[in-house]
Each structure stands twice: as structure tokens, then as C-alpha cells.
Amino acid sequence: MVCYVTYSSSFVIRFDHPGNYSYEALVGDHANEYNKLQHKSRIMIKTYFVDSFTTEPFKGNPAGVCLLENDISPEKMLNIAAEIGFSETAFVKKMDVDGVYSIRYFSPKKEIPLCGHATLAAAKIVFEKTPVVVISFITGENL
């Protein structure tokens, strides 16, 4: 797969009040310790910046990839995509069937029905982070 992972981190997204959120990057033991805490207003999102169609950093076509463990609202996905600032950010969540993932794409301004380079970026991350060898994505548009 021709992709280069430029950046990866775990972000804690904290939704304190409607329309107000903040995030902080956590690495290493700090991320593991934070995972043990249970806060309704905080969610952990593993986030990756992937350059598709290249094997070199800062080349190709960049996309954000957010691996979700729980559902979040489209408004929150849009806010996160706007904060990341790439043309598209893919939000990926494992479904109940092995190798099947839901995927939704957001630009900084709206949800996008389908995006090739963000799909490729998401597949790169899923293949690297899980033992699956075949992936099926189901989009928000059921494509």
C-alpha cells in the first residue's frame, strides 16, 4: 500500500459544554493511564495523519484518520475535521463482523459521501493496527 504515516497520536477530546471542546495529545504511559479513567464528557480518539499515494513524508495526498471506539455525533466529527484542517478526515469504527468497518468522511465544512485517498489512508491504518487481512468499509451513504 502506497501511504506514509506522517503523524500518529491519541487525542482526548473533551466536550465540556455544548459547542465547546478542547483536546490534548497523549503519548505513551499518559495515554494508557488516561484510558483507565471513566469520564462521560471525554472520549479517546486515536488519530493519524496519513499521506496517500506516496512513500515519503509530507508528499502525496494527506488525510486524517480517526479510529472510533464509540459513536460520536456528526457535529463532533465535523468540528474535529475542521480542527485537523485536511481536505478530508475519515472516521472509522469497527462493526460487529470481523473486517467490517463503518467509515464517514468529513471536510472542514461538511460531510462527504466518498473519498478515495481517505479510504486508502484508513485501510493503511487498519491493516497496521489490527490483525485483519481483508477489510470492508461501509460508508455513511451505505456505499
**Is the CB of residue 137 less than 8 Å from the CB of residue 102?**
yes
Contacts of 1 (CB under 8 A, 6+ apart): 120, 123, 124, 127
- State the catalytic residue, choosing from 75, 88, 111, 128: 88
Q: What is the pTM of this model?
A: 0.78
Below-50 pLDDT ranges, the chain: 16-40
User: What are the pLDDT digits (tens) for 95-134?
Assistant: 999 999 999 999 999 999 999 999 999 999 999 999 999 9
- Looking at residue 27, its pLDDT comes to 41
Number of neighbours of residue 22 by Cβ within 10 angstroms: 10
The one-letter amino acid at 22: S
> Is 128 in the active site?
no
- Looking at residue 104, its pLDDT comes to 97
Kindly provide the residue ranges of all beta strands, DSSP E only, lying in the chain, ordered along the sequence: 3-17, 20-26, 42-52, 61-68, 89-94, 100-106, 111-112, 136-139
C-alpha 118/C-alpha 87 separation (Å) is: 9
- Looking at residue 18, its pLDDT comes to 46
